[in-house]
Amino acid sequence: MVERVLTPSPNTIAKGPRPAARWSWVLKRLFDITISAAGLLLLSPMLGLIAVLIKLDSSGPVFYRGPRCGMGGKVFHILKFRTMHERPESYNGPRVTARDDPRVTRLGRWLRDSKLNELPQFWNVLIGEMSMVGPRPEDPQIACNWPEEVQREVLSVRPGITSPASVMFRNEEGLLIPGEVMDTYMNAILPSKLRLDQLYVRHHSFLLDLDTLLWTTLVMLPRLGRYVPPEERLFVGPMSRLIQRYVYWFLLDTMVMFGVIGLTGVVWRSFSPLNVGWPKAIWVAVGFSLLFSLTGALLGVNRIVWSRASTRDALELLPSFVVGIVAAVGIDMLLRKPPLLPVGMVITAAALAFTGFVMVRYRTRLFPRLRGQSLGAQERVLVVGGGEAGQFIAWWLQNGRSAGAFRIVGCIDDDLYKQDTRIYGMNVLGRRDDIPRLVQQHDVGIIIFAIHNISGRERQQVLDICASTNAQVVTMPDFLADLRALVNGNGHKADGSGRDRETAAKKQVEAWLVDLERAASAGDVETVKERIRLIRAGLGEKPT
């Protein structure tokens, strides 16, 4: 009989994957079976050696079988190598473990640091209780305190051996404060882990799993152990970038080039003899596409997001195209006498190929029906404030280095004249009282507060509304006022005798105090320390 730890209401029961995404979950399960079976087989000598060392190190069983929440809230028993002394206090202590926990054996500490204690979970994966990649399974006593919407989402998939949250918090035990282990975990670590797990569930893909496994392997290497990848790199990592930026375009360009050579060859043969053959034509198409892709990669062409490229960006293809053509013709003339393709045919094919390369990159604009929704992992953002600060953050989110990680659903502004308008690409969706409804309606994960021309009390009222939602609230500093103060301080006329700067300084102090109060109320010690560091930097003091 299967035990169930959670009993969600009918409104919180997890729904199955969309029909279009089911193939991805089928591929994921086949991948899990293959990797876990191969891992158990290939690592069996190591597993046996670790089992012997555990028996020699301390008395007790080799394996630890602890209850964890699985898919749908069903409880299963996770399998790990035992790392604690077999004593009553090992089972009666905190549900999470800090670095200097006396319950952990000497060998167990090494197993935990190297993550080798997790290897037996290949068996949980093989029998379908877990997956290679997925939200880490939580202790039932902790999971039962999650909000219902989090239970519904995170427990809708199989838990995994690793996850983006596991990569980000791989040194979790070192972050826990002895004596305050559970409080630190529940208030400072768990909310961020759950947010990352929710992002994983929403934006799961096979490439995301490959990226997560790659990051897990890389951060286990000694020299990379301290590296913390940016959050956007967790969800759009090296494998995704390699395939989406290089492999994908190489395959498309090869198809275009092959079609161009075939079309040009048919036309050319109607005027003069031509005996190339399909095998050679295929090699020519692949070879030129490879030259074009390599040249484009060196010149940075692959960094252009063609679905959002300007018309001028098409010119960026020209240098790599010319280099590819010159290299291809030169290699052909040096290696073959006479050349494989006539010069006239090469020029004709080159013109058609360049046209084809441009068309496949702008196909969603030339053929709007091909435009679909992005499959990337994008956090949905609601901007509070349609003024200069809100406009700047909108531009940054859409054009900055993290542009692919965020999607702006719109902005909030109390100005009646801005309602139902569009500002810098942002739709004004409503006023402050509409924030909770919009967060739920658009599944907003982050609220960016970007208002600085209101009183401290009114600012706190709006922030309280934002904090009442499930979204993470980020306050944008008023650096635009600082820039104006610098301009006024460099000889430009200010209103009165420095009143603008004095008012701006008061508002900045109010904003700092509000941020500190909110962080202190939430028990977020790290945020309080960071805010103090920023305040000292703003006052010109040296950081301590």
Residues 212-267 have pLDDT tens digits of: 999 998 888 877 667 777 777 888 888 888 888 888 888 888 888 888 877 877 77
Residue 117's pLDDT band (cuts 50, 70, 90): very high
In a domain, 66, yes or no: yes
The C-alpha atoms of residue 472 and residue 406 are separated, in whole angstroms, by 13
Residue 36's pLDDT band (cuts 50, 70, 90): very high
pLDDT digits (tens, 9 = 90+) for 419-435: 878 776 678 898 888 99
Of the ranges 9-13, 363-367, 378-382, 441-445, which is most confident? 441-445
Give me the pLDDT at residue 336, please: 66
Residue 2's pLDDT band (cuts 50, 70, 90): very low
For residues 366 and 384, membership in a common domain is answered with no
* CB environment 115-151: b (16+ within 10 A), e (fewer): ebbbbbbbbbbbeebbbbbbbbbbebeebeebeeebb
For the ranges 333-337, 359-363, 509-513, the lowest mean pLDDT is seen at: 509-513
Domain boundary among 309, 339, 370: 370
The C-alpha atoms of residue 66 and residue 68 are separated, in whole angstroms, by 6
Domain boundary among 229, 252, 287: 229
The C-alpha atoms of residue 166 and residue 523 are separated, in whole angstroms, by 23
What does 256-307 look like in DSSP terms, one character per residue?
A: HHHHHHHHHHHHHHTTS-----HHHHHHHHHHHHHHHHHHHHHHTGGGS-GG
Domain, as residue range, for 245: 240-370
Domain boundary among 340, 370, 400: 370
The C-alpha atoms of residue 441 and residue 248 are separated, in whole angstroms, by 34
More confident: 286 or 539: 286
Give me the pLDDT at residue 497, please: 45
The C-alpha atoms of residue 435 and residue 385 are separated, in whole angstroms, by 12
Give me the pLDDT at residue 367, please: 63
Q: What is the mean pLDDT of the chain?
A: 79
For residues 490 and 426, membership in a common domain is answered with yes
The C-alpha atoms of residue 166 and residue 188 are separated, in whole angstroms, by 15
For residues 26 and 161, membership in a common domain is answered with yes
Is 146 within 8 Å of 154 (Cβ atoms)?
Answer: yes
For residues 352 and 412, membership in a common domain is answered with no
For residues 190 and 263, membership in a common domain is answered with no
Residue 82's pLDDT band (cuts 50, 70, 90): very high
For residues 67 and 36, membership in a common domain is answered with yes
For residues 358 and 307, membership in a common domain is answered with yes
Give me the pLDDT at residue 162, please: 95
Give the CATH number, domain containing residue 427: 3.40.50.720
In a domain, 3, yes or no: no
Give me the pLDDT at residue 6, please: 43
Domain count, the chain: 3
The fraction of the chain above a pLDDT of 90, given in percent, is 25
Report pTM.
0.61
More confident: 444 or 10: 444
In a domain, 212, yes or no: yes
More confident: 411 or 498: 411
For residues 58 and 174, membership in a common domain is answered with yes
The mean per-residue pLDDT over the stretch 178-205 comes to 87
Residue 20's pLDDT band (cuts 50, 70, 90): very low
Give me the pLDDT at residue 131, please: 96
Of the ranges 33-42, 319-328, 528-537, which is most confident? 33-42
Residue type for 402, please?
S
For residues 138 and 254, membership in a common domain is answered with no
The mean per-residue pLDDT over the stretch 21-38 comes to 88
The mean per-residue pLDDT over the stretch 403-413 comes to 80
More confident: 58 or 375: 58
For residues 394 and 342, membership in a common domain is answered with no
pLDDT higher than 70, residue 516: no
Residue 286's pLDDT band (cuts 50, 70, 90): confident
Give me the pLDDT at residue 171, please: 81
In a domain, 40, yes or no: yes
For residues 174 and 270, membership in a common domain is answered with no
pLDDT higher than 50, residue 169: yes
For residues 502 and 438, membership in a common domain is answered with yes
